[in-house]
Amino acid sequence: MEAKGRPEVLWPLFGGLEQLDGIGPKLAETLNTAHIERPRDMLMTLPHTGISRALRPSVKGAAQNEVVTVEVTVGRHMAAAAKGRPHRVTVEDAETSFQLVFFHARGDWLQKQLPTGRRRIISGKLELFDGIAQIVHPDHILTVDKGTDIPAFEPVYPLHAGVTQKVMWRATRSAVALAPLLDEWIDPGLKAERQWPDWQQAVQSAHTPTQVADIGLTAPARERLAYDELFAHQVTLALARARSRKAVGRASVGTGALRAKVLGNLPFRPTGAQIRAADEIAADMAEPVRMNRLLQGDVGSGKTLVGLLALLAAVEAGGQGVMMAPTEILARQHLEGLEPLAEQAGVVIMLLTGRDKGRERIRKLAALAEGKIDILVGTHAVFQKDVVFHDLRLAIIDEQHRFGVSQRMELGAKGEAVDVLVMTATPIPRSLALAQYGDMDVSVLDEKPPGRTPVQTALISNTRLDDVVSRLRAAVEDGRQCYWVCPLVEESEVSDLTAADERFKRLRAIFGEGVVGLVHGQLPPAEKDAAMARFASGETKVLVATTVIEVGVNVPNASIMVIERAESFGLAQLHQLRGRVGRGAAQSTCLMLYQAPLSETGRRRLDILRETEDGFRIAEEDLAMRGAGDMIGTAQSGLPRFRIADLERQTALLDVAQKDARKLLVDDPTLDTARGKAVRHVLWLMDQDRAIRLISVG
């Protein structure tokens, strides 16, 4: 557990939980399962609400179930009349009398705690039972001189099975006591402007709120601690960014000649956003640092053209470029789209996938190594060890929204001087983009090519499946084509497949042999391609599919999208699927079938898709409804888990953290100034081991 190099001042916070008051091996184990493993984790587990226990003269006027704290005179004891009945004690405060109720309690013990005639401070939840006010098992019974032991405002911690508030209270107190005095890592101007306390003070206050407002996101202490978390993470990303930019970058300055040719031959005019993004990328490539850039654009926003222009810049500069797609189908489609444009400009483009074998593959690799090929398009086969380029200058990764920071770092390590452009079709809210891609520079295509007719989207109960099928038959007779996406069944490929297979057979029985095709992830690649090709050429009219068609596939004549069990998909995924239609001139339709009855949230989610086709808006709504952790599988997304910071509601803070982190590394790239050294502490504190490694590698 002891990480090498961790500053000694932080050691107590990274020891075992047992050093905290009231935590033995058993409780420690329980807490570990809730990801509280060290005093530091306890410190960062903050109360989520609080209870006022301020002393009041009387319970009179208190609401049902309100927690009250009053001074009383103890009256008569009424021992349990029978087994299972409670022991009752009448008490009297300044204005009224009420009862304390105890089940399964020993009478003599109660007599000792509550001697008749004495005064006591009682705190607990007030209930009304048969018109009589009572407190069942008070939380506190104290002699009057000990009354101040009850905090006027008691923090309430999120609990895990087997751990009580009392345990959390004691353990957090002793964790706070371990918090050392640390040098300040926050920019002094920012800290003053926000009126944030020092770290140690912040930790202390966050655990001893005195009113509800102290628990809110904007309470200075909590905001500061949230900022620390975001800032440490952003410093890591900024370090990664700085390092990749520093790494033997090469200036790829294009002449613009090939790009001009291709643009001159386009059947349409590029959108303003496409031009802007292409310019940003070209300018970045022309810098002698290594590019690490994200191109974000909704489905159909025309990312491929922007990618091509970047590849051409690399070729103009005398080098080569590679574009990697996640699937064979997409790689082929890219090739088909790019080849005619590239050829007109005299650029040689080639496809390489896992299916290239033997002599053919050797021939391709040789041509690549000799520089006879300018642009390589393929699947991840293009990153295999024996694939050697003559002069690779740009690598584009398409549709890789499930690529985490560490994977990008690995990829970066492969081609040292290569500029990297990641294209993602999943619009993500700004907060997530900052958290997930903070190490990259970002270009956004926020404008769609003109002339698209919006897709008509309808929600239909699956009890009306027969209606849908007959509508479909009419459309097919009209020469239209349709995707039919089968449900996600418990994330299991096998059951997805069964569902798709069954649907395929049923539709084939209705539409006839040769009209319906089927693609799914487990089909041998050649068959998958053949099925896609038959659909693209119009031979088959209906394509039954699992979500393999989710990303990128382009068949302009397909104008109907049927999605079964739409409620089982994520909003972003539905948006992606719908984006497969509406690509041609014809009016397109998306029919989202749901299993009735639909829950209220289920309907609200799907309604968003009916309201808008703006991927960014859909993503924001999705985030608001589901929360960041859920939206993207956290582990695979590279999205950090924050304990205190709230990604959805503290985007502005995240923005500040990113700017501050990047500026810090400009001023102090090696973190050696006084502030830099303090920043190292917060990196250790926040488990940013990766960052620590980046600094030590230098």
Instruction: Kindly indicate which of the ranges 71-79, 147-155, 248-256, 547-555 contains the residues binding Mg ion, using the contact rule CB under 5 A.
Output: 547-555
Tokens representing 677? Answer: 């050294």
Stretch that binds ligand ADP, among 47-55, 296-304, 518-526, 654-662 (CB under 6 A): 296-304
Long-range contacts of 264-271 (CB under 8 A, 24+ apart): 265/341, 265/344, 265/345, 266/305, 266/341, 268/449, 270/302, 270/305, 271/301, 271/302, 271/445, 271/447, 271/448, 271/449, 271/450
Q: Work out how close the CB of 560 gets to ligand ADP at its nearest, in angstroms, rounded to a whole number.
A: 18
Per CB under 6 A, contacts with ligand ADP among 308-347 are none
Q: How far is the CB of 274 from ligand ADP (least distance, A)?
A: 6
- Which parts of 298-317 interact with Mg ion (CB under 5 A)? 303
Least distance between ligand ADP and beta carbon 399 (Å) = 8
Residue 129 binding: pick among ligand ADP, Mg ion, none (C-beta 5-8 Å cut-off by kind): none
Query: At its nearest, how many Å lie between ligand ADP and the CB of residue 346?
Result: 21
- Contacts (CB under 6 A) with ligand ADP, residues 572-591: none
- Taking CB atoms within 8 Å and a gap of at least 24, the contacts of 304-307 are 304/334, 304/337, 304/338, 304/398, 305/266, 305/270, 305/274, 305/278, 306/274, 306/277, 306/278, 306/281, 306/423, 306/443, 306/445, 307/396, 307/398, 307/421, 307/423
Beta bridge partners of residue 695, listed in sequence order: none
In the list 50, 86, 124, 302, the residue contacting ligand ADP (rule: CB under 6 A) is 302
Q: Which residue has the tokens 């850039």?
A: 293
Which one of ligand ADP, Mg ion, none is in contact with 302 (Cβ closer than 5 to 8 A by kind)? ligand ADP
- Residue least distant from ligand ADP (Cβ): 302
What does 166 bind: ligand ADP, Mg ion, none (CB cut-off 5 to 8 Å by kind)?
Answer: none
Rounded to whole angstroms, the maximal C-alpha distance in the chain is 102
Site string for ligand ADP, 505-544 (x = CB under 6 A): ----------------------------------------
Q: Which is nearer to ligand ADP, 252 or 271 (CB)?
A: 271
Q: Which amino acid, one-letter code, is at 127?
A: E
Among candidate residues 412, 402, 418, 415, the one with its CA nearest the CA of residue 439: 412
Give the residue, chosen from 50, 86, 124, 297, that forms a contact with ligand ADP under the rule CB under 6 A: 297
> Which is nearer to Mg ion, 73 or 554 (by Cβ)?
554
Q: Provide the token pair at 154.
A: 């008691």
Nearer to ligand ADP, 456 or 554 (CB): 554
Phi-psi label, residue 65: left if phi above 0, alpha if psi -120 to 50, beta otherwise: left
SS3 call for 392: strand
Pairwise CA distance, residues 590 & 677, whole Å: 56
Residues 553-572 that bind ligand ADP (CB under 6 A): 554
Q: Which is nearer to ligand ADP, 244 or 304 (CB)?
A: 304
Rounded to an integer, what distance in angstroms lies between the CA atom of residue 13 and that of residue 24? 17
Q: Using the minimum distance from each CB to ligand ADP, give the nearer residue, 205 or 296.
A: 296
Cα distance between residue 281 and residue 508, in whole Å: 47
Decide which of ligand ADP, Mg ion, none touches 134; Cβ closer than 5 to 8 Å per partner kind: none
> Is residue 268 close enough to count as binding ligand ADP by CB under 6 A?
yes
Tokens of 379: 């699947």
Are residues 332 and 529 in contact, defined by beta-carbon separation less than 8 angstroms? yes
Minimum CB separation from ligand ADP for residue 452, in Å? 9
CB of 369 to Mg ion, least distance (A): 28
* Cβ nearer to ligand ADP, comparing 45 with 304: 304
333 touches which of ligand ADP, Mg ion, none (CB within 5 to 8 A by kind)? Answer: none
Residue with tokens 């005095």: 181
- Contact residues for 515 (Cβ-Cβ < 8 A; gap 6+): 476, 508, 540, 541, 542
Tell me the window of 72-80, 211-219, 302-310, 687-695 that interacts with ligand ADP (CB under 6 A).
302-310
Using the contact rule CB under 6 A, the part of the chain among 80-88, 301-309, 366-374, 570-578 near ligand ADP is 301-309
Interface region with ligand ADP, contact rule CB under 6 A, candidates 110-118, 268-276, 341-349, 592-600: 268-276
DSSP for residue 270: P
Residue 554 interaction partner, one of Mg ion, ligand ADP, none, beta carbon < 5-8 Å per kind: ligand ADP
CB 156 within 8 A of CB 187: no
Q: Closest distance between ligand ADP and the C-beta of residue 309, in Å? A: 11
Nearest distance from C-beta of residue 63 to ligand ADP, angstroms? 56
Q: In what order do the strands lie in the sheet with 392-398?
A: 349-352, 375-378, 320-324, 392-398, 419-424, 292-297, 441-445
Minimum Å distance from CB 280 to ligand ADP? Answer: 16
**Residue 11, binding choice from Mg ion, ligand ADP, none, Cβ under 5 to 8 Å by partner class:** none
Q: Is residue 552 within the footprint of Mg ion (CB under 5 A)?
A: yes
Q: Which does 305 bind (CB under 5 to 8 A by kind): Mg ion, ligand ADP, none?
A: ligand ADP
* Spatial contact of 352 and 366, defined as CB atoms under 8 Å apart: no
The yes or no reply on residue 243 touching ligand ADP (CB under 6 A) is no
Q: Which is nearer to Mg ion, 319 or 552 (CB)?
A: 552
Closer by beta carbon to ligand ADP, 155 or else 302: 302
**Contacting ligand ADP (CB under 6 A), which of 22, 220, 256, 270?**
270
Q: Is the CB of 303 or the CB of 541 nearer to ligand ADP?
A: 303
Q: How far apart are CA 10 and CA 178, in angstroms?
A: 9
The phi and psi torsions of 608 (rounded to 5 degrees) equal: -60, -40
Number of residues that bind Mg ion (CB under 5 A): 2
Give the pair of three-digit tokens for residue 534.
Answer: 């038959």
Residue whose structure tokens are 């001009």:
260
Q: How far apart are CA 640 and CA 498, in angstroms?
A: 35
Indicate the pairing of strand 119-129 with strand 97-102.
unpaired
CB 520, min distance to ligand ADP, A: 22
- Strand, helix or coil for residue 201: helix
| Contact by Cβ (8 Å): 13, 40 | yes
**Residues between 430 and 449 with contacts to ligand ADP, criterion CB under 6 A:** 449
- Quote the CA–CA distance of 278 and 308 in Å, as a whole number: 9
Q: Which of 377, 425, 544, 628 binds ligand ADP (CB under 6 A)?
A: 425
The answer to whether residues 560 and 478 touch, using CB atoms and an 8 Å cutoff, is no
Q: Minimum Å distance from CB 370 to Mg ion?
A: 30
Q: Of these partners, ligand ADP, Mg ion, none, which one is at the site of residue 271 (CB under 5 to 8 Å by kind)?
A: ligand ADP
Interface positions with Mg ion (CB under 5 A): 303, 552
Interface positions with ligand ADP (CB under 6 A): 268-271, 274, 297, 299-305, 425, 449, 554
